[in-house]
């Protein structure tokens, strides 16, 4: 596919097209061994097909400062927790007006822009009918999956213990902790 797209082997085996090397930098927090190992694996795998991935990791205080919030990275390997609970509204993560590096208020640090997604998010945010909202957010999800503004590599699943007498606990991988529905908890008889 790279050959067909015009990316041919250049100096040191790195592909080039129109004088541009197929090279990028990836960053994550220093000391996060799982991510650092994943970076090394991805770097080796990409090198096999002529893509150069440089690694430039940063201490957490630097990574999560302006480097992250102002989108100063080529690519980054991070853990994303949407913390949306039962509501699927991801406007703060995917709306073009939620790009901090462009004066927006939100967490769209990948600077994703799609006018159709913006319109759907705005519509979903002011729709009260739950079935209509489901349809809107399913369409948002389909567009984001097609555009792929970020590439999920794995999904963490936190294992938590609880007293067996507590009923109504429902895990939700879209939240930071499983207390999103505490109003539904009750003691078993």
pLDDT digits (tens, 9 = 90+) for 129-181: 999 999 999 999 999 999 999 888 876 666 778 888 999 988 776 676 777 78
Residues 117 and 138 in one domain: yes
Pair 106, 92: CB distance under 8 Å: yes
The answer on 88 and 72 residing in a single domain is no
Supply the pLDDT for residue 81: 67
Residue 172 falls inside a structural domain: no
Instruction: Clarify whether residues 74 and 45 are in a common domain.
Output: yes
Residue 118 pLDDT more than 80?
Answer: yes
Strands 166-167 and 8-9: unpaired
What dihedral do alpha carbons 93, 177, 57, 34 form, nearest 10°? -130
For residue 27, being part of any structural domain is answered with yes
Q: Could you say which of 56, 79, 102 is where a domain stops?
A: 79
Domain count along the chain: 2
- pLDDT computed for residue 25 by the predictor: 97
Residue 53 has pLDDT above 70, yes or no: yes
- Whether the CB-CB separation of 171 and 189 falls below 8 Å is answered with no
pLDDT in tens, 72-95: 999 999 987 655 556 778 899 999
Residue 160 pLDDT: 77
Domain-located, residue 3 = no
Domain that holds residue 12: 8-79
Residues 65 and 103 in one domain: no
Q: Is residue 61 a part of any domain in this protein?
A: yes
Do 125 and 143 lie in a common domain?
yes
95 and 54, same structural domain? no
User: Length of the chain, please?
Assistant: 189
pLDDT of residue 153: 80
pLDDT for residue 74: 95
Judgement on whether residues 46 and 62 belong to the same structural domain of the protein: yes
Note if the pTM is more than 0.85: no
Given a contact cutoff of 8 angstroms between Cβ atoms, the answer to whether 26 and 41 are in contact is: no
The whole-chain average pLDDT of the chain stands at 90
CA-based nearest residue to 30, from 20, 21, 39, 18: 39
3-state secondary structure labels for all residues of 172-189: CCCCCCCCCCHHHCEECC
Residue after which a domain boundary falls, among 79, 101, 120:
79
Examine the domain organization and report whether 94 and 69 are in the same domain.
no
Asked whether residue 22 is domain-assigned, the answer is yes
């Amino acid at each position: 596919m790279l050959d067909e797209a015009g990316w041919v082997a250049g100096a040191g085996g790195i592909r080039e097209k129109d004088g541009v090397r197929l090279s990028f930098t990836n960053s994550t927090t220093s000391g996060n061994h799982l991510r650092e190992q994943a970076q090394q694996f991805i770097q080796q795998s990409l090198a096999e097909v002529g893509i150069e991935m440089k690694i430039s990791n940063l201490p957490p205080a630097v990574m999560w400062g302006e480097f992250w919030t102002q989108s100063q990275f080529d690519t980054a390997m991070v853990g994303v927790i949407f913390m949306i609970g039962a509501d699927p509204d991801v406007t703060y993560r995917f709306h073009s007006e939620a790009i901090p590096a462009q004066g927006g208020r939100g967490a769209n640090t990948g600077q994703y822009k799609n006018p159709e997604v913006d319109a759907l998010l705005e519509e979903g945010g002011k729709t009260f009918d739950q079935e209509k909202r489901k349809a809107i957010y399913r369409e948002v999800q389909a567009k984001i999956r097609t555009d792929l503004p970020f590439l999920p590599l794995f999904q963490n699943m936190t294992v938590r213990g609880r007293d067996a007498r507590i009923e109504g606990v429902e895990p939700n991988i879209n939240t930071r902790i499983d207390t999103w529905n505490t109003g539904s908890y009750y003691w078993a008889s």
